[in-house]
Chain A
Amino acid sequence: MVFFIGVLRYAGRDLMMGKGKKDPDPINISQDMLKNDELIDLAEIQSEIEGHEYMNNALTRSARFRTNCDFLPPDSVKLRKAYFCRNETGYFRKEVANNPLQAMMNPEMMTGMLKGQFFMTIFNFGLISLTSTFFSGFVNAKMPFPLAQSFRSMLQQGLTLSNLDVRYVSSFSWCILCIYGLQGLQNLITGTGSMKEEMEMMTGGMMGGQQKGGMPGQPKDFTKIFKGEIENYEILTSKFSLEHAEKQVLLQHRHTKKMRF
């Protein structure tokens, strides 16, 4: 009978694999503004769009520049650095006031992203509680390795025999083992598994660390972000990697008969 319970659990996991596709689309501020259902005069939101667009674009542009600065000759690198960081007139030295309208736009982003996350975590919790209520009191599996006694309360939740070897675990722990163990397989079968949102919640989100304001719920603090960018530029070292480009081309073709030196 325990065998059948194990099989049923496995079938439950297979079901879960198919429901892992709740990826919400990444949301841009500017896209959000333009996707409103009401008809809005361009003039009304022109000022908002301008401010946000330029700030978003400047940040992404400077990030891209920093990653690819090796392809530019050193003078161009200096020029761009100066544009961003020059004292008094550089782009990132601007003082930016926090727009109160920002706080209004953010709840939309919040519901978009967190909906997917909450749904999947609630689904997981629901599954765990369902299995533990249905299949309580069954000894489900025997672990092939010896465990410490302190794990007893965690692994043998519904079992009445209190002196049972810790190697015999309840169905609850088998459920958790299945969830975490089959994520790898889920990643192969579907695009990504259903735990991507849970992992994101636990590690604080991928983009939250970058933007320093936190993506959901907080107005972006541009002064801090700009200061961070200026510091990034201070530690930036770039080596012009195309400096010897001509030499490399000649080396490549030195065996061609047409070239004679």
Chain B
Amino acid sequence: MDPKRRIKKEEVIRTSKEAEMFNDALVAKAKVLGFITGGMVAGTLGLEGVQGFIFYFITHIICSACICFSLNFTAMPFFKDLSAIMTGNIFTNLLSYLLFWVMFYNLIYVL
């Protein structure tokens, strides 16, 4: 489908559910590495407490922006809504981020 085609009212967009689920899972997988590197950055910068969690959300925004950029900001053939990338799976990678944050914080500042 041409992404620039305007949708008329009578048209119904049908998507296959397996494709939708696959795309969502792919977005989640793509973010994992981003969060891990975000955790490393937070650890090396020595962020403490609340700053670290704020940096978690900053990392989330940066990862979502990168994914949107790679889609050229059109959701059309792949997703229904670009904002779903930003709002979905917010806390899924929290533990990975936490692990790498703690690990690098310890490696550099404590030991």
Binding site for B on A (CB under 8 A): 2-3, 6, 10, 67, 70, 141-146, 174, 177-178, 180-185, 187-188, 241, 244, 247-248, 251
Chain B residues whose CB sits within 8 angstroms of the CB of A70 once the complex forms: 12, 14
Across the interface, do B102 and A141 meet the contact criterion of CB distance under 8 Å? Answer: yes
What are 11 A-B pairs with beta-carbon distances under 8 A?
A3-B111, A6-B107, A67-B17, A144-B101, A144-B105, A145-B49, A146-B49, A181-B97, A184-B92, A244-B11, A247-B10
Chain B residues whose CB sits within 8 angstroms of the CB of A177 once the complex forms: 95, 98-99, 102
CA distance A70 to B95 in the complex (A): 41
- Checking B17, B49, B98, B106 against A181 with a beta-carbon cut-off of 8 angstroms, the contacting residue is B98
Across the interface, do A143 and B29 meet the contact criterion of CB distance under 8 Å? Answer: no
- Checking B14, B47, B100 against A241 with a beta-carbon cut-off of 8 angstroms, the contacting residue is B14
Choose among B10, B53, B109, B110 the residue with the greatest number of A CB atoms under 10 Å from its CB: B110
A-B contact count (CB 8 A): 75
Chain A residues whose CB sits within 8 angstroms of the CB of B105 once the complex forms: 142, 144
CB distance from A192 to the nearest CB of B (A): 11
Nearest to A1 among chain B residues (CB) is B111
Nearest to B104 among chain A residues (CB) is A144
Which 10 A-B pairs have CB atoms at the shortest separation, nearest pair first?
Answer: A181-B99, A145-B49, A184-B32, A184-B96, A241-B12, A180-B95, A181-B95, A244-B10, A144-B105, A142-B110
Binding site for A on B (CB under 8 A): 8, 10-12, 14, 17, 29, 32-33, 35-36, 43, 46-50, 52-53, 92-93, 95-103, 105-107, 109-111
Q: Looking at chain A's contact residues, is the secondary structure mostly helix, strand, loop, or mixed?
A: helix
Across the interface, do B32 and A145 meet the contact criterion of CB distance under 8 Å? Answer: no
Across the interface, do B102 and A143 meet the contact criterion of CB distance under 8 Å? Answer: yes
- Checking B43, B99, B111 against A178 with a beta-carbon cut-off of 8 angstroms, the contacting residue is B99
Across the interface, do B32 and A187 meet the contact criterion of CB distance under 8 Å? Answer: yes
CB distance from A245 to the nearest CB of B (A): 10
Contact A3-B32, Cβ < 8 Å, known A181-B98, A182-B99, A248-B11: no
